[in-house]
Structure 1
Amino acid sequence: MTLNSPGAVPATPITRRSLLSKTLAYGCVPGLATGLSTGVSAVSAPAVRTRFAVSTYSFWQFNRDELRDIFLCLDLAAEWGFDGVEILHRQMTDESNSTLQKIKQRAFVNGLDLCGFSTHQGWVSPDADVRRQNTEHTIRCIELSYALGIPTMRVNTGRWGTSGSFDELMKNRGIEPVLPGYTEEQGFAWVIEGLTQCLPVAERCGVTLGLENHWGLGRTPEGVMRIVRAINSPWLGTTLDTGNFLEDPYERLEQMADNAVLVQARTYYGGGLWYSLDLDYRRIAELLRKHRFGGYVSLEFEGKDDPRTAIPRSLQMLWEAFSV
């Protein structure tokens, strides 16, 4: 992979729009061959069923220790009819290679894809050593994702930390002031530098990073896309979280949709742990179809109901919304 070094030709990110236009130009879309030389009529390609995953966060939620076990999450996901599982890195209690391979095996025998690895990092800090540690942590997570056979990994920008606790950040609807003495311009430069340093490892491991709209400099679609476009790599796309835009979610999700590698679908049965959103998933499904998104939709249940009942209920709702 060639990064944007002086004199180098920048790598072009692969988007569904650009890929489809190239495929159409060469006449290689299944079902769209004209058959002019044989007289056979063109055949429409069958509709592709949306595949649904569930994040292990939906079970654990950082405080339900009886549902923290990754193997239990895999077994229940298969029992309830999911196609895949997204693993939350912070939920893991053992990162030994033996355990990683057992997780991969358990998913396989359950007929599940391990389709996403959700990680936390933050480069929004004036301390170069803190930024370096977050880069090293992210590279380590890419290697874990590779060992698990997971093709995409959620990454964050990080935040300024001026609002104190996460509870306080949520009370302020995700908005926090810039650290005194610094600017957002510096913050974006730090994030771009950190992510760029991770990309050679992502390419070597075949793990596509997905920058999520997850507070901090990623709180807005403009912030996420500013970083993605500045880095301009096929190994960095977006992870769409339907629950992290508290105002005008549909218009904002659409700004990121053409680069999406994973979608996280939030539900709040029993009331949200921090807030609840009344999301129209039929509208979201249509938005994703419009942008030709064919990847996984991963459930993040963030309500107060028992996950053992709320997760299957959420899956049923998503099936119905995406089948229209």
Structure 2
Amino acid sequence: MKRRQLLKGALGLSALSAVNFASTPTLLAQHIAGRSAKASQLKISLNAFSFNAPLTDGSMDVHDMLEYCSEVGFAAVDITAYYFKGYPNVPPDDYLFEIKRHAFRLGLDISGTGVRNDFTLADPEKRKEEVKLVKNWIEAAAKLGAPVIRIFAGAKVPDGFSWNNVAAWMVKDIQECIDHGKKFGVTVAIQNHNDFIKTAEHVTKIMEMVDSEWFGLILDTGSYRVGDPYEEIEKTIPYAVNWQIKELIFVEGEEIETDLKKLIDIIRASDYKGYLPIETLGAGDPKQKVKALYDKLNGVLSS
């Protein structure tokens, strides 16, 4: 009995010491655990526009791109709608479901899709056609399992109108799309594309005018071209529901290599969680360019 009591006491002291030791750095441990969890929630996706040339000329199809993304290690793909057969028409369900099945078997999520629309058109009948385009592809997105559809504002302010004039009718069109998206569980997100939307101020105005939980921003890092893009990103990151992270960024109008560490620090300091689709542009082998950007971003996320 004495030996058993002695062992019990020793074990008790050992456990108590372990508890005291573990509890000492509680705040630090929580901070590190929080950062690790946050970092793990940021996943790299690929925006299909990176393969625009081969997807357009037919030397690659969507299935080829899926295989490539799986080999590289992407978590997801963002498949722009105009790379599907028959665009702007929505293809048959079996075509969409085969892409969905293939991605699933390769371990890839479909993080989003997108259309090429223009809500700056002055003709309301033409804008109705643009709204119909978005609605059709919202339904396709739901079938694909894409949680968000990317839309554009449009090319420019038409002659005879102001930015505010266009924004007023654009918001009505966007709201109609959002209402449709809500029915199918698809978030509608507008991209800052250095067209009608050029600055963080433009983004904020549109977001405040719409103000819906089913609406957000596709934050395009390469399309803030006035002032400091990192400041513009910080201002608009609260609206971000998805991204286009590019190799190059415009600082005071000069195109330079994106500081990925600085960008990821900004993202980690925000409440954003989820996918970080990358998009490569310009000359060169897209497979090499995509792999290079993936490796750089993955390295930053892992550090």
Q: How does 1:107-256 map to 2 (within 5 A)?
A: 107-160=103-156, 178-247=157-226, 248-256=228-236
Change beyond 3 A, Cα 1:77–1:276: farther
Alpha-carbon distance, 1:216 to partner: 2.7
* Structure 1 residues 79-117: Cα deviation after superposition (integer angstroms, max 9, x where no partner): 111000000111111421111000000000000000011
Larger Rg: 2
List aligned pairs for 1:23-102, cutoff 5 A: 44=30, 45-46=33-34, 47-48=36-37, 49=40, 50-61=42-53, 65-94=57-86, 95-102=91-98
C-alpha distance 291-59 of structure 1, shift in aligned 2 (>3 A)? same
Unaligned runs of 5+ in 1: 1-38, 161-177, 269-274
TM superposition score normalised by structure 2: 0.81
Give the paired residue count. 263
CA distance in 2, matches of 1:225, 1:298: 22
Name the structure, 1 or 2, with higher relative contact order (CA <8 Å, separation 6+).
1
Question: Does the 8 Å contact 2:177/2:188 carry over to 1?
Answer: no
- CA separation of 1:276/1:139 partners in 2, compared to 1, >3 Å: closer, same or farther? same
* Paired residues of 2:47 and 2:80 also in contact (CA < 8 A): yes
1:72, CA displacement in angstroms? 0.6
2:263 counterpart of 1:267 = no
Instruction: Indicate whether 1:291 and 2:270 are aligned.
Output: yes
Deviations 1:242-300 (A, max 9, x none): 111124210111111012111111126xxxxxx95421111110110111211100011
Contact 1:260–1:293 (CA<8 Å) still a contact in 2? yes
Deviation per CA, 1:197-245, whole angstroms, max 9, x where unpaired?
A: 1112111111111211113321212112211111110000111111111
Q: Corresponding residue for 1:29?
A: none
The 1:61/1:210 distance shift into structure 2, 3 A limit, reads farther
Corresponding residue SS for 1:199: helix
C-alpha distance in 2 between matches for 1:62 and 1:217:
29
The answer on whether the counterparts of 1:155 and 1:210 sit within 8 Å (CA) in structure 2 is yes
Which consecutive residues of structure 2, in runs of 5 or more, have no partner in the other structure? 1-22, 249-253
Q: Name the one with the larger helix percent.
A: 2
Q: Report the Cα offset of residue 121 of structure 1.
A: 1.1
Taking every aligned residue pair, what percent have the same amino acid on both sides? 26
CA-atom RMSD in angstroms = 2.0
User: Does structure 1 retain, via aligned residues, the 8 Å contact 2:194–2:224?
Assistant: no
Q: How many angstroms does 1:155 deviate by?
A: 1.3
Q: CA separation of 1:243/1:65 partners in 2, compared to 1, >3 Å: closer, same or farther?
A: same
**What displacement does 1:68 show?**
4.1
TM-score normalised by the chain length of structure 1: 0.76
Would you say the 8 A contact 1:281–1:322 is kept in 2? no
Cα distance in 1 between the residues matched to 2:118 and 2:257: 29
Does 2:282 align with 1:323? no
TM superposition outliers: structure 1 runs of 4+ over 3 Å: 39-43, 61-64
